[in-house]
Amino acid sequence: MQKRIFFILGTALLFVAGYLTGNRGATVAHAQAPTQGSVPKSYGRLVTAIADQIGTGLIFEDSQGVIRFVSVTGMKEGELARYDQTPTHGGIPKSYSRLVTAVVNSEGTGLIFEDSDGVIRFVTIAGKKEGELTRN
């Protein structure tokens, strides 16, 4: 009988100790207010959104083909110019036509272009062509 009483009292004591310990250190997580920013209309059309190691980013392309990388807060992170004849450092040829989307992998961000002939080009953010597909 004594064993049973000690067992019940011990269980009750552990229950109360666990409740007090757990209840004292409880934290409540509240949702953060949504981030608001603005992006100039001159940045052109939104092409895609990407998620990389620094967060979510938006990629825009304007009517001249300039590609801009913008954070969710609206801050411009980078820009790639387009060129006709003379290559520019970090630029993209205008002949690649329109930007379709972008992808992020372990090696970095890649851009995918498609021209009017159906040629699909995979280009690094530095402007180096990685591959090309033609449509039949």
| pLDDT at 33 (0 to 100) | 67
Across the range 115-119, mean pLDDT stands at: 90
What pLDDT is stored for residue 124 in this prediction? 86
> CA-based Rg of the chain, rounded to a whole angstrom?
28
Cα 62-63-67 angle, rounded to 5 deg: 30
Of 105, 107, 123, nearest in space to 115 by CA: 123
Given a cut of 90, is residue 100 above it in pLDDT? yes
pLDDT for 60 beyond 90: yes
- Report, as an integer, the average pLDDT of 42-58: 87
The mean pLDDT of the chain is 83
Q: How far apart are CA 34 and CA 74, in angstroms?
A: 13
Instruction: Go through the domains of the chain in sequence order and give each one's CATH number.
Output: 41-133 (2.40.10)
Q: What is the rounded distance in angstroms from the CA atom of residue 83 to the CA atom of residue 94?
A: 6
CB 40 within 8 A of CB 52: no
Torsion of CA 29, 33, 39, 44, to 10 degrees: 60
pLDDT at 133 (0 to 100): 94
Dig out the tokens for 68 from the structure.
Answer: 């801009």
Backbone CA torsion sign across 90, 91, 96, 102 = positive
Cα separation, 109 vs 111, in Å, equals 7
Instruction: Kindly report, residue by residue over 70-95, the tens digit of the pLDDT.
Output: 988 888 888 888 888 877 777 888 88
Amino acid at 35: T
Residue 25: pLDDT over 90: no
pLDDT reported for residue 29: 61
- Predicted pLDDT at 23: 59
